[in-house]
């Protein structure tokens, strides 16, 4: 998986939400979202409930988000990608800036910088550890 694939997945998930400003608010809270019309969105590690972790076996490593893209046009049903949180936040900041939401874009860029700093301090063994 390349950085380009990760960024494209982020762009697609972001484009499926109706309010970019709302996504900036979610990012500030480190909360994910899901478009219930098509099942596209983003999850942070803290978004997972015990059922998802224990029964479904979903694991999002520390410092990552799970981007999931499912649209009507996808014959294969869609896909999920683990993406470093700071990459997702940079893509979101770019989307905000493109739509002239400069204040929100600046805040999300700062969140991306902080996420990248946190990621540099994560022990790889800790990132992979479940629950």
Q: How far is CA 44 from CA 5, 33, 72, 86, in A?
A: 19, 9, 24, 12
Count of domains in the chain? 1
Query: Do residues 80 and 67 lie in contact, with contact meaning Cβ atoms separated by under 8 Å?
Result: yes
Query: What does the pLDDT look like over 98-123, one tens digit per residue?
Result: 999 999 999 999 999 999 999 888 76
List the domain range (segments joined by +) for residue 86: 3-128
Query: What does the pLDDT look like over 15-50, one tens digit per residue?
Result: 999 999 999 999 999 999 999 888 899 999 999 999
Residue 121: predicted pLDDT:
86
pTM: 0.88
- On average, the pLDDT of the chain sits at 90
Contacts 24+ apart (CB under 8 A), 99-103: 99/20, 101/20, 101/21, 101/24
């Amino acid at each position: 998986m390349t950085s380009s694939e990760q960024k494209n997945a982020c762009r697609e998930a972001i484009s499926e939400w109706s309010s970019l400003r709302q996504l900036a608010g979610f990012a500030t809270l480190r909360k994910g979202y899901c478009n219930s019309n098509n099942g596209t969105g983003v999850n942070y590690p803290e978004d997972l409930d015990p059922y998802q972790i224990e029964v479904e076996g979903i694991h999002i490593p520390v410092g990552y988000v799970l981007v999931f893209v499912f649209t009507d046009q996808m014959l294969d049903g869609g896909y999920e990608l683990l993406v470093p949180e700071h990459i997702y936040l940079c893509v979101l900041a770019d989307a905000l800036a493109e739509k002239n939401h400069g204040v929100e874009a600046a805040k999300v860029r700062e969140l991306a910088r902080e996420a990248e700093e946190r990621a540099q301090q994560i022990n790889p063994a800790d990132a992979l550890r479940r629950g």
